[in-house]
Amino acid sequence: MSFSEVGVAQIVEGAWKWVGIDNYIHVITNTDFLPALRATVLITLISTVSTVLGGLFIAAVLERNNRANLVTQGLLVFLWALPPLVVGFVWKFLLASDGPVPQLLGMTGVGVGPQGPQSPLTNDVGALLAVAMVVAWVGSAFASLIFRAAILGRDRSQIEAAVVDGASTWHVFRYITLPALRPAIAVQALLTVIYCFRAFDLPYVMTSGGPGNATTTLPYLAYQQSFGTLDFSSGSATAVICLAFVAVFATIYIRMSERSAD
């Protein structure tokens, strides 16, 4: 379909005209492509960094095996397992102008406009940050479980020897814990990048790609082209471009997994 001319008429008639790479040229040169690519990259960068840092922090807090930490881990699994559509609707409610988050921030004078507390989803930067942080909020729950397993898998004798030699908590983390976590961090970062480059659900539910095109990611752009303007050719070309990005990172992930298995 991405190499053919396909609209409503062609769908009905069943006759698709071959156009080669014309659809890809049209998509890449279209004024909507670069903003969508920029939004996708920004959401990916913010989400990846926040997911890794959030996961490390939670894993460090939950390192001990006590009852409170075990209950918290169960809640984290629950948060991670929630469908993205549910997560998107919940956060859209929380971040609405009359929702809890703007109202609480308004009490401190943050985010207050002429008409009272304003939702961060109503401005370009706020909406993009909100979508990225919700992705990180979900990803951090899963990342913390992976990082905690890596932390518990450290060589305890090295830690005990380092403490005996006078190493501080920071030195133990930097020279023992962090090297043990590097493979897990790399895998989690790649998984987050792959998810962001195919993310459609959260921008669709939370912002509908707006305001303007601030949160229009490449998958959401493909949806708009296919079902908004019924230009199935352009939508398919955009979707294949997304697939190409995901395939590159998926290949890196597979090779990393093979090396760790060896």
Q: Does the pLDDT at position 262 exceed 70?
A: no
- Could you give the CA distance from residue 47 to residue 27 in angstroms, rounded to a whole number? 26
Q: What is the pLDDT of residues 174-187, one digit of tens each?
A: 888 888 888 889 88
- Could you give the CA distance from residue 33 to residue 27 in angstroms, rounded to a whole number? 7
Q: What is the pLDDT of residues 2-17, one digit of tens each?
A: 999 988 888 888 788 8
Mean pLDDT of 212-241: 93
pLDDT at res. 261: 60
Q: How would you class 70 by CB atoms within 10 Å of its CB: exposed for 0-12, middle for 13-18, buried for 19 or more?
A: exposed
Q: What is the pLDDT of residues 242-259, one digit of tens each?
A: 999 989 988 888 887 777
In three-state form (DSSP H/G/I as H, E/B as E, the rest C), the secondary structure along the chain is CCCEECCHHHHHHCCCEECCCHHHHHHHHCCCHHHHHHHHHHHHHHHHHHHHHHHHHHHHHCCCCCHHHHHHHHHHHHHHHCCHHHHHHHHHHHHCCCCHHHHHHHHCCCCEECCEECCHHHCHHHHHHHHHHHHHHHHHHHHHHHHHHHHHCCCHHHHHHHHHCCCCHHHHHHHHHHHHHHHHHHHHHHHHHHHHCCCCHHHHHHCCCCCCCCCCCHHHHHHHHHHHCCCHHHHHHHHHHHHHHHHHHHHHHHHHHHHHHC
Mean pLDDT of 231-236: 93
Q: Does the pLDDT at position 118 exceed 70?
A: yes
Q: How confident is the model at residue 113 (pLDDT cuts 50, 70, 90)?
A: low
Q: What is the pLDDT of residues 26-57, one digit of tens each?
A: 999 999 999 999 999 999 999 999 999 999 99
What are the chain's domains?
Answer: 4-109+119-261 (1.10.3720.10)
Using CA atoms, how far residue 3 sits from 14, 17, 171, 180, 238, in Å, is: 15, 9, 56, 46, 11
- Could you give the CA distance from residue 127 to residue 45 in angstroms, rounded to a whole number? 15
pLDDT at res. 112: 67
pLDDT at res. 172: 85
pLDDT at res. 195: 87
Q: Please state, rounded to an integer, the average pLDDT across all residues of the chain.
A: 88
pLDDT at res. 153: 83
Residue of 109 and 196 predicted with greater confidence = 196
Q: How would you class 74 by CB atoms within 10 Å of its CB: exposed for 0-12, middle for 13-18, buried for 19 or more?
A: exposed
